[in-house]
Amino acid sequence: MRNSITPLPGGRLRKEYRGTLAWKREITLLRQMAGSGLCPELLDAPLRQAEMTECPGVPLGECVRAASRQEAREMMAALAAWTDAFEREYHRRTGQTAVLEDLSPENFLWDAASRKITGLDFEFWHTGSPAENRGGLLCMAERLKAAEITGEELTGELYRQFRGGSDRAELEHRAARARQQTALRQRAMPLIRQTAGVILAGGQSQRMGSPKALLPWKDGCFLDQAIDTLWVFDRLLLSANEPVYRQFGCPVLEDRHRGIGPLGALHTALLDAGREWVFLLPCDMPYFRTETVLELFAQADPDRDEACIFSAGGHLFPTVGLYSRRLLPAVERQIASGEYRLRDLFTGRAVRVLPADRPGEFVNVNTPGEYQALLTI
């Protein structure tokens, strides 16, 4: 589910966000950095929207790839200077370091007139170490390929420009981690682009006594967290049967067969999601991570697999998994037979089962007591 950006009169832009938590993170940082000149100025922030100033420039990646050797070095020096200024200013205002998680050359603008960099995207960040930012930027620089400029030269320029921060060994450690994350995303994204993410929020929550998806969690609710986790999908849907879920900004799929559990949700998703694959995630697994989604997609074989799910602690988790539209006839036969257990679908099918490295991600809640216990973790 992509953000949309609309130009407005008077040098302004309106940005509409894929989820509430990403919106909250970005407007928080823009407010904290107001007047710094390092990012757009926030003008207004209605729910899941932000109006901000339009900044001059061209995406940095385009500029570096087209630049001469000397121009590219100047751009890398400007990027290092922006990073230093950003860290110093954020620390001056808050006493902490903001680490940018989604570092991409498309998230920075190069203004040839002023020879300056502007940062654009602040939806995913956390507080941490300056070495995390710098390692990520080193990795980003290595990915910028220009005819006459090697990644080694670009990163060497960044090493020379970074000041007052981590030593080279720490930077290399952080850069290696960033390289791993980049490689994982590159392996996963081709199949993710063929897939719709589907959040399961249609359960009756009888033991909980109220809709689990709407239970408060951190800066939002469980459903907000699930939307945030599945940000990598450009098509994200909610499997739900109540009007209240339409307020979350995602298309809602209502079960064609109600009262039969996740099998009914899968059936509707395979029919109506508009993609060859769907990825299911329950709304009540707030510790499930985007990285785990990427790991599954990196290991799935779309030519052979019909489904790909996790196992943890000796249990299968069929409601957290990837399903091919090729399964639709089998799903319909199972519904017709009155057998509604999702795992019964796997008999005789090409199902890949991946052991979960972090079983704690699969903790969910069904009762008020389990919810209260989860809040104390």
C-alpha 169: how far from its chain's center?
29
pLDDT at position 286 is: 96
Q: How far apart are CA 223 and CA 201, in angstroms?
A: 8
3-state SS record for the chain: CCCEEEEECCCEEEEECCCHHHHHHHHHHHHHCCCCCCCCCEEECCCCEEEEECCCCEEHHHHHHHCCHHHHHHHHHHHHHHHHHHHHHHHHHHCCCEEECCCCHHHEEEECCCCEEEECCCCCEEECCHHHHHHHHHHHHHHCCECCECHHHHHHHHHHHCCCCCCHHHHHHHHHHHHHHHHHHHHHHHHHCCEEEEEECCCCCCCCCCCHHHCEECCEEHHHHHHHHCCCCCCEEEECCCHHHHHHCCCEECCCCCCCCHHHHHHHHHHHCCCCEEEEEECCCCCCCHHHHHHHHHHCCCCCCCEEEEEECCEEEEEEEEEEHHHHHHHHHHHHHCCCCHHHHHCCCCEEEEECCCHHHHCCCCCHHHHHHHHCC
Reported as a single tens digit per residue, the pLDDT across 6-51 is: 999 999 999 999 899 999 999 999 999 999 999 999 999 999 999 9
Q: Does residue 166 register a pLDDT over 60?
A: no
Reported as a single tens digit per residue, the pLDDT across 278-304 is: 999 999 999 999 999 999 999 999 999
Domain boundaries, the chain: 4-53, 58-188, 193-375
pLDDT at position 60 is: 93
The stretch 207-221 carries a mean pLDDT of: 89
Q: Does residue 328 register a pLDDT over 80?
A: yes
What is the band of 319 on the pLDDT scale with cuts at 50, 70, 90?
very high
Q: Does residue 164 register a pLDDT over 50?
A: no
What is the homologous superfamily of the domain 58-188 according to CATH?
Aminoglycoside phosphotransferase (APH), C-terminal lobe (3.90.1200.10)
CATH number of 193-375: 3.90.550.10
Higher pLDDT, 244 or 171: 244
What is the band of 152 on the pLDDT scale with cuts at 50, 70, 90?
low
Q: Does residue 79 register a pLDDT over 90?
A: no
